[in-house]
Amino acid sequence: MDAQQQEVFNFSQQMESSSTAQTSNTQTPTVTGVTITPVYKEPHVLDRERHINLSTPFEGLDVLCESLVDFKNLKRNDVDLTEELRKQGWENYFQRLYGPIYPLLVKEFWRHADADDNFIVSYVLGVKIVITEGSIASLLNMERSGGKRIYNIPPRSKRITDVINPTIFKPNVEGNPSRNKELHQNLRVWLKIILGTIHHRPASNSSDYINADQKCILYCIQKGIKISLPVLLFRYLRDSVRETRNNMKPRSYIPLGRLLSDVFIEHGLVDELEKTKLMDDLAIDVGKPLNARNLKTSAG
């Protein structure tokens, strides 16, 4: 190393020493009173692990079977709903209700079910089941049927008071009518059908309160305005899942047992059980007929 190189080397060493000294003399500021809390983001409903989301025991659940509406029998007994049925395009749905219901599979689905606005997700025999408005429309061959999307109608809206109530209820009914006995005759039958197959709940001989959504459904049926059946079914099923998960409405019944069983059939679950010879151990149920005789019995 010549004299010039030695000088450059010495200068470099001096600069490094100076920089090190400055760094060592610089005090590191102390930060106090700050707590970092990790933010947990719940996985999307489609990504959540399989989990039992319902506290009701398996044996405490009751699967409701949709009513088997006999429109031909009703027509023979002067309750002709066939034209309204045709205008809505619901023939296929009501025909499918005559299929089998698998209560054990429905209960398994219900215990594991979870839902957000757009998806109902559950597991049956380890198979992931996802239900949407679109999947119900596909199941019922109603992908292009369209129709009004009736949901969460304000009960005190001006349209309910001024247009819908005067149309569906008998004249001279005082106040704000909301009972089935105040409806026009055909709409009383339609309400019974809706409560037994769409807004599905246990049968009751008492006067049924009619909510705003049901009033709108009856109005559209009366006027021949097409309704989106997949929307009605999905949102009622979704809300039922949500309400029972959150203990908002503690109840043991499961609505739309036939629709759910139809979903399981489409997913191939029943075929797999038949292949493994397990169908013999699987109970099968069906709905009860809704015809003119039943109507007279319930009315009496």
121 closest CA partner among 208, 245, 18, 5: 245
- Mean pLDDT: which of 47-56, 107-116, 287-296 is highest? 107-116
251-272 pLDDT per residue, tens: 799 999 999 999 999 999 999 8
Task: Describe the strand order of the beta sheet including 114-115 as a list of residue ranges.
Answer: 114-115, 120-124, 127-131
Residue 38, token pair as written in the block:
């990790």
Asked if pLDDT for residue 104 goes beyond 60, the answer is yes
Partners of 130 in the β-ladder: 121
Reply yes or no on whether the pLDDT at 170 is more than 50: yes
**Which pLDDT band holds residue 246 (cuts at 50, 70, 90)?**
low
pLDDT at 86 over 50: yes
Mean pLDDT computed over every residue of the chain:
86
pLDDT tens, position by position, 106-131: 999 999 999 999 999 999 989 999 99
Give residue-wise pLDDT tens across range 22-46: 444 545 555 555 666 666 678 998 9
The model's pTM is: 0.83
Tokens 């119900």 map to which residue?
Answer: 136
Calculate what percentage of the chain has a pLDDT beyond 90. Answer: 63
DSSP one-letter string for 56-121? S-GGG-EEPPPPEE-HHHHHHTT---HHHHHHHT-HHHHHHTTS-B-HHHHHHHHHH-EE-SS-EE
Mean pLDDT of 68-89: 97
End-to-end alpha carbon distance in the chain: 118
